[in-house]
Every structure is written in structure tokens, then in C-alpha cells.
Amino acid sequence: MTLLQAILLGLIQGLTEFLPVSSSGHLAITQHFLPGFNQPGVLFDVLLHLGTMLAVILYFRREVGNLLTSPFRRDEQAPTHRRLLTLLLAGSIPTAVIGLTFKDFFENLFENIPLVALMLLVTGTLLFVSEKFRRGSRKEEQLNLIDALVVGTVQGCAIIPGISRSGSTIAALLLRGVDGETAARFSFLLALPAVFGAALLSLRHLQNIPPGEITLYLAGTGVAFVAGMLSIHCLMAVIRRRRLFAFAVYCWLAGTVVFALTF
């Protein structure tokens, strides 16, 4: 891997992690066409996701701080924050079960580019359906256990490259009548345990990184972090304006083109 490749992949990850177009799908496709690209396992991909999750922590630092301190506080807002923390933990359970059970299977899918292209078509369809049939305006305090388990299960399935994690989880909440901004916030916060867990599981590949490439991994992670901050701002604006359909069209076009190129 070269420095240019690391920066390019970090930029792609950062821009596509929060926009509902599947960062894992874009990474798999780009890596497929990059000459000479190689990585131990999916460690580089996980580190790029870690970079974008650091962007989530910074962007939602107040919410994250409230959640982490809620078990120890006794102010009026503490019960609300503890309830949200409980829902996030509950939603993380199906994600963890799916991810750990099918980990090797999902990793092998990253080399199946025609499947990635087909999953982009699926993502586009999910975005279209959720935009067309979104209903209700439930806020954060109205989220329930069923919401958490549904979106946690969807997030687990979104490990499949080409299925957008943010797009599918937000779509699921929109279809359950949750307000757009609330859906996006819950989706981003729910991703934190999953990404950090995946990062821990991938640490075993650290010893396989050539010493000269460690700086390349860090460079890609840094670029993903900066691009991720910009991407979050963009998605929140899109959610407010109800314009997910444009991303559905993009996924359909990208999936069709990549599928055609692989045959």
C-alpha cells in the first residue's frame, strides 16, 4: 500500500461512512481496482472506520458525555440519558451476535465485487422506500426497546459490503415513525460499540503490518476522521431537508455500473 492509496481510501471512508451509500462497499470496490493493494485481514478498513467514529464522538461529544456519566448522576436529565444508554446497549446485542457468528463469512464477501454491486442496489431501494413511506415524528424520549432491537439487527446485517450501515439503520427507524434527526443521532451512537469492538478483534493483525506501513495506516485513519466530520454535517442537513432519494439514485447508478464492469 502506498501513501496515496492510504489517503484516497481514508477520504472515501470519511465521505461515505455517514452518507447513506455504504463506505464498506466503496472501500471494497476501490481496493479491488487499486493495483498491488494488500492488507492483513480487514485491519485497515477497521482503522478507517475507527477514524470516522472518532469524528462521531467529537461531533456528538455532549451526547456521549451525558450517556457515559448518566449512571453516576442524579439530575433531572439523568434518567432520560440512562434510558437511552440502555437502549443503545440493547441494540448492540443483536449486532454483536450477528457480527461474531458470521465474521469470517462477511470478511470473505469483501472480495465478491458483483455481490457488493447488488447490495448497493439494495441500499438504494431501502433509501427510496424509507423516504417515500416515512411517517411519524417520534423523538428520542419516545424510542423503545423494539426500535433498539430492530435497528441493532439491521446494523448487524449491514456488515455485508454494499449495505450502508447509516442508510439501513436510519431507514429502519424512519419506517418505524422516528424523526429524521433522532434516527440519525441514534444510528451514529449505536455504531460506536460495534466499531470499537471490531477494532479490538482486528488488533491481532497488527503484527502482520510491515513496519514501514504503520504510518500509512495512521495517515488513512487521520484523513477518514477529517472527512468524516464534513460528512456528518452534510448528512444532518440532508435528513432535515428530506432528500434521501438523491442517494438512492446514486446507489442504483453506482451498483449498476460496477456490476456491469465486473462482467
Confidence at residue 208, expressed as pLDDT on a 0 to 100 scale: 67
In three-state secondary structure terms, 178 is: strand
pLDDT computed for residue 94 by the predictor? 94
Helix (H) or strand (E) holding 18: helix 3-18
Each residue of 132-170: pLDDT tens digit?
888 778 888 899 999 999 999 999 998 898 999 888 999
Q: What is the pLDDT of residues 90-132, one digit of tens each?
A: 999 999 999 888 877 887 888 889 999 999 999 999 999 988 8
The domain spans of the chain are 3-257
Cell numbers of 162, please? 454494499
**Short-list 22, 14, 2, CA closest to 158:** 22
- 66-75, 197-206, 242-251: segment of lowest average pLDDT: 197-206
pLDDT digits (tens, 9 = 90+) for 206-263: 666 777 778 888 898 899 999 988 888 887 777 776 677 888 999 999 999 999 888 7
Look over the chain and give the mean of its residue pLDDT values, rounded to a whole number.
86
pLDDT digits 0-9 by tens, 166-191? 889 999 999 999 988 888 889 989 98
pLDDT at res. 41: 58
The Cβ of residue 132 has, within 10 Å, a number of other Cβ atoms equal to 10
pLDDT reported for residue 42: 65
Residue 164, φ and ψ in degrees, nearest 5: -70, 125
Position 207 scores a pLDDT of 67
> Alpha carbon of 70 to those of 28, 83, 142: distances in Å?
39, 9, 18
pTM of the model: 0.83
